[in-house]
Amino acid sequence: MAIESRERPQRTPQGERTRAMRTRLLDATIDCLVERGWSGTTTTLVSERAGVSRGAQLHHFPTKQALVVDAVEYIATKRRTELEAAAEHLPARRRTRAVLEILSEQFTSPVFLAALELWVAARTDETLRDAVGPLEQRIGRETHRQTVTLLGVDDSDGGARELVQATLDLLRGLGLAATLADDSRRRKRILDTWAKTLDDTIGAAS
Amino acid sequence: MAIESRERPQRTPQGERTRAMRTRLLDATIDCLVERGWSGTTTTLVSERAGVSRGAQLHHFPTKQALVVDAVEYIATKRRTELEAAAEHLPARRRTRAVLEILSEQFTSPVFLAALELWVAARTDETLRDAVGPLEQRIGRETHRQTVTLLGVDDSDGGARELVQATLDLLRGLGLAATLADDSRRRKRILDTWAKTLDDTIGAAS
C-alpha cells in the first residue's frame, strides 16, 4: 500500500476508498428518497443500505441535512454529465424532438423523483430550504444554458429565452404528473406537438 | 328546534351543523398540509385546528386517509367553482393571457400546495395512491374541459388538444418551481410568451 501511495500521490487507495464510500452513501440516499420519500429516509437506513458503518457515515455526513445537500450536488453533476453524453448522439433530423426526449427522460428518472422529495420537503422546512434553494437556482440556470445549446437556438431573441424556460417548466410539470400514473403515451403526444411548435416559433434546429 | 325541523325538512339545524363541521375539518386539513406538509399533518392536529372534538372528528373521518380523500374532492370542487366564477369576468381583449393568469393563480394557491403534498406522499404510499390516483385523473379531465372552454379553442383540431394539455402541465411545473422561490416575474414573462404562442398556433380567442 505504501508503494502504491508513492506511485500515485494524488489518488491514494485511502483517498479512493473514501471517495467510493461517499459515492455509495449518496447513491443510497437517492435510492431511499425514491423508495421511501423524504420522511422515510433516515441516516441509519442510508448507512445500512450503503454498507457503511454508522461511525464512518457520521464522519462524512454528520446530519441528514449534510447528506441531502451533498446529494443535491451529486444529482446535479449526474444530470449534467448525462445530458452532455446524450448531446453527443443527437440526430441531425428532428433534433428538437430528440432533445425533448432526452430532457423528458431526466424529468421522469429516479434522480428527478429524489429531487422532487427534497423540493417538497424544503417547502415546509426552513433549514432545508435555505440549503437547497440557492443550489436549485444555480442548477436551474445551468440546465437552461445546456438546453439552449442542445436546441441550437439564439436565446437573446425576444421570446426565445422564455420558450426555452417554458420548455423546462413543461417538462417539470409532465414529470410531476408521471409520478401518479403512467402517462407516457400522453407525454409523447404533447412532446411531439411541442417540438413542432418550438421549430415553428423560434426556429430551433430541426 | 322541532318546529324549525318541520319547516325545513331537508336542511335541519342538525344537518347544517354537521355540514359546517365537515367543512371546518376539511379546511383545517388543507391548512395543515400547507403549513406542515403531509408528514406533519395528523388527525389530532386537524381536529384541534378545526375546533372539533376528537370523537366527532373520528365519527366523520375515522382515518387520516378518509380525511384527505374527502379533502381532495373538496379541493377539486373549490377549484372548479373558483374557475367558473373567474370565467364570468374574462375580458374580450387578451383573453388567452387572462385565462392563463386565472389558472396560474390556482396553480400557485394554498389549495395547489395541499394537493402537491398529497401527490408526492401518494407516490410512496400505495393505499393513498389507490385512493388519490383515480380521483386526480378525473379532476385532470375536468380541468382540461374547463380550460378548453375558457380558451375558446376547438380541441378536436390536430395539436390543439395537446397544446391545451401542455398548458396545464406548464402551469403545474411553474407551480412546483414557485414553491422554492418567489419567481413571479419570471412566471409572468413566460405566460406572456405562452399566450402569444397559443394565439398564433391554435387561434385561441384573443
Q: Give the model confidence (pLDDT) of B77-107 as tens digits.
A: 988 888 888 888 899 899 999 999 999 999 9
Any A CB within 8 A of B166 CB: yes
Residue A185 has pLDDT above 50, yes or no: yes
Q: What is the ipTM of this complex?
A: 0.89
One domain, residues B127 and B97: yes
Residue A55 has pLDDT above 70, yes or no: yes
One domain, residues A58 and A76: no
Query: Does some domain include residue A67?
Result: no
One domain, residues A132 and A195: yes
**Number of folded domains that form chain B:** 2
Residue A46 has pLDDT above 90, yes or no: yes
Q: Which of B100, B112, B38 is nearest to B75 (CA)?
A: B112
One domain, residues A10 and A49: yes
Q: What is the mean pLDDT of chain A?
A: 89
CB B112 within 8 A of CB A173: no
One domain, residues A176 and A143: yes
User: CA-based Rg of chain A, rounded to a whole angstrom?
Assistant: 20
CB B114 within 8 A of CB B75: yes
One domain, residues B6 and B101: no
Last residue of a domain, one of A62, A89, A106: A62
Query: Does some domain include residue A147?
Result: yes
Residue type, A49: R
Any A CB within 8 A of B100 CB: no
Q: Which of A105, A84, A196, A94 is nearest to A150 (CA)?
A: A84
Cell 379541493 identifies what position?
B75
CB A79 within 8 A of CB A88: no
Q: What is the CATH number of the domain that holds B29?
A: 1.10.10
B129 interaction partners in chain A (CB closer than 8 Å):
180
- Least CB-CB distance to B201: which of A121, A123, A197? A197
Last residue of a domain, one of A62, A80, A107: A62
Residue A142 has pLDDT above 60, yes or no: yes
pLDDT computed for residue B6 by the predictor: 47
Q: Tell me which residue range forms the domain holding A55.
A: 1-62
Q: Which of A6-20, A148-162, B53-67 has the highest mean pLDDT?
A: B53-67
- The DSSP output letter for A91 is -
CB B108 within 8 A of CB B102: no
One domain, residues A177 and A124: yes
Residue A157 has pLDDT above 90, yes or no: no
pLDDT bin (cut points 50, 70, 90) of residue B131 is confident
One domain, residues B99 and B9: no
